[in-house]
Amino acid sequence: MNRQTLRAALSTLTAIGAVLMIGVPTATADELPQSEAQPRTADFQAWDSAADFSLGEGTGVEIDRDETLSLTSMPEGRTSYADPFADQRAAVEYETGTWTSPVHDIGFEASDAIVSWNAATPTGTWVQSEMRGRHADGTWTEWFVMGRWASGMDFAAGDIHRTSVDGQSNADGDVYTDTFSAADGKPIVSDQARVTLLRPVGALADVSVSLVSVVASRLGATTTKPSTTSMTKDMTLDVPQLSQEIHRGEYPEFDNGGEAWCSPTSSSMVLGYWKMGPKSANLQSVIAPNGDPQVDWAAMHTYDFAYEGAGNWPFNSAYSASFGLKSFVTRMQNLAEAETYIAAGIPLVASVAFTRAELPQAGYSTNGHLLVIVGFTAAGDVIVNDPYSPTNEEVRRIYPRANFEQVWLNGSNGTAYITLPQGHPLPGEASPVSPVAPTGSTPANPEPTPTDKTSLATQPTPTSPVSTDDQQGISSSSGGGGRPKQQLAQTGSAMAAWHVVAAAASGAALIGLFTVMVGRRGNARRCARSM
């Protein structure tokens, strides 16, 4: 059975299961066993400045004046990679540098996690993201590869096909495209992230990383009670309206447009709001008979060649960041928290899943869909740009607060893409805050005073930074900057530069904006529909 057929079968089974579950009583939090009734919790951690990066350890990388990580002029690390999706699968030799974050204490037992990164990858260069987790008994998971990212698609000139890594499963957990899921009974309490920067040996391109983040979460009782709104008047951000459906049938090699493109369409709307996106010259060759070629471009440049779709969450954030913005995947407590983003002028791309009964106003059901929260009514109902609409003019909709909050929190743990310009304040910030050492993190070395370049503490016993046996065609050669294969578990925590926020939400103080309560119903993010 091929992947497309398997997807269709899974979508059908999901829809059937949803129908069968309608009318079946669900236990409330009070009725659940103590272990199952625990609150959903998420913890977010990011490193995005010279101060943050200096807390980690690096081999073959340095901190530039613009506070990004880049390869040194002569990194010692070497590895080879044979692109499994290339026409010619000959291995290419790369210079490598690796940055490893401090160990971060999550603060609870986490069951899953997502890594995000912002990177500049000139032609031929790419980055690999990894993470691992520590159990309460002090043992670590192996490192898991969370993504291999290149923003370009000039394959003839050396760009790799961006990809998640299939087949990562062991006693500690599994990776489902972009999300680590801990094995039953093996949650993690601490985490660590790692990024490897790669460029062809002898090339001069300056690959760099400006942000690494992780959000770890714990599953809990189903959310049933809606949050209280803080809205006193209607508020709507001027986010462009784009329909995914006008692209139905476009570019079959990139999942055929239409209902498969909810994520890149939503990302394109947010980019349009910030007046960013591909240049007109880039779009000249795009064939979009009904207009909006930027959506096709986004689908091509977020496409995950292993997943065979454009719905990889961190790939969408990395794509948005490639235009000079800051972007990451996080998880939120409720719509009261989302309101603080709208008040700060920041739209959110939200991941939802629902049956017709759960959100009847939508007129469809889905096992995974992305849309943009653009505002709220005075009564607290949610104003969205829903790309699953026949035309651009029909994209703007209002969904009832209680219904929407359930299908967001219970459908994806309150997952959202946050994209904003560099320096734009997050909720609760009067102005961009200065980075501080994240609470609960273990500094790897004292903070340096950066000049043009800042050297990082060298990691002991470096070996190959790229997995050697992950079924994706990589082999490594001896070199000063490599690391052995390890798999990644989860991390997440309070954001280094952005983690301290106090805001009133639902009548209570919201302390630590990124320490949030979340839920989960699977790891779906496809835009499949059951009409």
Confidence tier at 384 by pLDDT (50, 70, 90): very high
CB 447 within 8 A of CB 55: yes
Integer Cα distance of 298 and 278 in angstroms? 8
Match 């008979």 to its residue by tokens.
Answer: 289
Q: Which two tokens stand for residue 183?
A: 């094995």
Phi, psi of 125 (to 5 degrees): -105, 160
Integer Cα distance of 291 and 242 in angstroms? 10
12-29 CB burial, b ≥16 within 10 A, e <16 = eebbeebeeeeeeeeeee
Confidence tier at 503 by pLDDT (50, 70, 90): very low
Q: 174: which strand partners?
A: 169, 181
Average pLDDT over residues 53-81: 95
Confidence tier at 333 by pLDDT (50, 70, 90): confident
Instruction: Write down the pLDDT at residue 23.
Output: 31
Whether residue 438 is predicted with pLDDT greater than 80 in this model: the reply is no
CB 415 within 8 A of CB 313: yes
Instruction: Write down the pLDDT at residue 241.
Output: 98
The domain defined by 223-430+504-530 folds into: Cathepsin B; Chain A (3.90.70)
CB 72 within 8 A of CB 206: no
Confidence tier at 428 by pLDDT (50, 70, 90): confident
Average pLDDT over residues 334-349: 97
Average pLDDT over residues 70-78: 93
Lowest mean pLDDT among 10-14, 176-180, 196-200, 524-528: 10-14
Lowest mean pLDDT among 242-251, 383-392, 488-497: 488-497
Whether residue 507 is predicted with pLDDT greater than 50 in this model: the reply is no
Confidence tier at 469 by pLDDT (50, 70, 90): very low
Strands (E), 298-425: 325-331, 348-354, 365-376, 382-385, 396-399, 415-421
Instruction: Write down the pLDDT at residue 430.
Output: 54
* 3-state per-residue secondary structure call for 122-189: CCCCEEEEEEEEECCCCCECCCEEEEEECCCCCHHHCCCCCECCCCCEECCEEEECCEEEECCCCCEE
Integer Cα distance of 263 and 247 in angstroms? 13
Instruction: Write down the pLDDT at residue 219.
Output: 76
Would you say the C-alpha torsion 387, 391, 392, 393 has a positive or negative sign? negative
Measured at the CA of 239, the angle between CA 412 and CA 210, to 5 degrees, comes to 65
Confidence tier at 457 by pLDDT (50, 70, 90): low
- Amino acid (1-letter code) at residue 496: A
Chain Cα centroid distance, residue 292: 24
Instruction: Write down the pLDDT at residue 472.
Output: 39
Q: Which of 47, 63, 54, 50 is nearest to 446 (CA)?
A: 54
What 3-state DSSP class applies to 416? strand
Helix boundaries (H) for 81-151 = none
Chain-wide mean pLDDT for the chain? 80
Average pLDDT over residues 414-441: 68
Integer Cα distance of 102 and 409 in angstroms? 30
Match 């923003």 to its residue by tokens.
Answer: 151
Integer Cα distance of 469 and 409 in angstroms? 36
Whether residue 262 is predicted with pLDDT greater than 80 in this model: the reply is yes
Average pLDDT over residues 291-316: 98
Tell me the CATH number for domain 41-222+441-475.
Answer: 2.60.120
| Between 519 and 347, the higher pLDDT residue | 347
Average pLDDT over residues 334-339: 95
Q: Which two tokens stand for residue 235?
A: 């508020």
Instruction: Write down the pLDDT at residue 429.
Output: 74
Lowest mean pLDDT among 224-238, 360-374, 516-530: 516-530
Average pLDDT over residues 434-442: 33
Return the domain boundaries, the chain. Answer: 41-222+441-475, 223-430+504-530
Strands (E), 381-468: 382-385, 396-399, 415-421, 453-455, 457-458
Strands (E), 233-364: 235-236, 325-331, 348-354
Whether residue 184 is predicted with pLDDT greater than 90 in this model: the reply is yes
Q: Which of 76, 44, 79, 415 is nearest to 212 (CA)?
A: 44
| Between 515 and 193, the higher pLDDT residue | 193
Q: Which two tokens stand for residue 112?
A: 């899953």
CB 151 within 8 A of CB 229: no
Instruction: Write down the pLDDT at residue 423.
Output: 93
Residues 6+ apart with CB under 8 A from 291: 246
Average pLDDT over residues 208-222: 88
Whether residue 380 is predicted with pLDDT greater than 60 in this model: the reply is yes
3-state DSSP percent of the chain in helix, strand and coil, to 5: 20, 30, 50
456-477 CB burial, b ≥16 within 10 A, e <16 = bbebeebbbbbbeebebebebe
Integer Cα distance of 313 and 315 in angstroms? 5
Whether residue 465 is predicted with pLDDT greater than 60 in this model: the reply is no
Average pLDDT over residues 392-418: 96
Q: 370: which strand partners?
A: 351
Q: Which of 165, 69, 94 is nearest to 477 (CA)?
A: 94
